[in-house]
Amino acid sequence: MRVISGTAKGRPLKAVPGISTRPTSDKVKEAVFSMIGPYFDGGIVLDLFAGTGALGIEALSRGAEQAIFVDRERIAVETVKTNLAACRFADRAEVYRNDAMKAAKLLGKRGLKFDYVFLDPPYKFAALDNLMPELAGLGLLRAGAVIVAEHDASRMLPEQLGPLNLFRRSEYGDTAVSLFEYDAEETDQT
């Protein structure tokens, strides 16, 4: 695993020890950033279910201003911190050990708004359909924000989840990536 492009291009990333974390492959990561970027002029990123932190770190390398990483596993949080330090991004990042929904509520209380949200939960995580509109409901998304959801290819996410509209879905073997855009006007009308 490595950073694919940007200021930290080529830097190796440590994997989370054990088998509980499924890191995003370089092929899928490159495809994701080709679809949403490939480079950014600032913006704030939320990497929930961070694992190694590879998606948020890739966004920082490609020009995102700041990233917040959340994972409930202690070993994953330590791995993210190690990878951020190796890429020299620790000063542009916050890392928290918490449950995704609890973390989202706390971030909402801080008034943070994100341009990009990366969701790469364990494939058995069933609440993805509920979590995404909840992020909008908590006020965590800027108008036009993009949520990137990585999930099992056998699972089809709805085309609309509240104010979030599916605009692209791609499959890579047993992995699917669904991209949703936040429609702030739709939230204002409800």
Give Cβ neighbours of residue 91 (< 8 Å, ≥ 6 apart).
Answer: none
Give the integer Cα–Cα distance in Å for 22 and 123.
9
Mean pLDDT of all residues in 88-111: 96
pLDDT digits (tens, 9 = 90+) for 54-93: 999 999 999 999 999 999 999 999 999 999 999 999 999 9
Mean pLDDT of all residues in 102-106: 95
- DSSP-based three-state secondary structure for 136: helix
Domains belonging to the chain, first-starting first, are 26-189 (3.40.50.150)
CA 97 → CA 48, 85, 119, 152, distances in Å?
Answer: 10, 17, 15, 24
Q: What is the CA radius of gyration of the chain?
A: 15
pLDDT digits (tens, 9 = 90+) for 130-176: 999 999 999 999 999 999 999 999 999 999 999 999 999 999 998 89
Whole-model pTM above 0.75?
yes
With CA atoms as reference, report the closest residue to 5 among 51, 64, 52.
64
- DSSP state string for 152-175: ETT----SEETTEEEEEEEEETTE
- What are the φ/ψ torsions at residue 178 (nearest 5 degrees)? -110, 130
- What are the φ/ψ torsions at residue 82 (nearest 5 degrees)? -65, -45
Question: Which of 15-19, 181-185, 186-190 reaches the highest mean pLDDT?
Answer: 181-185
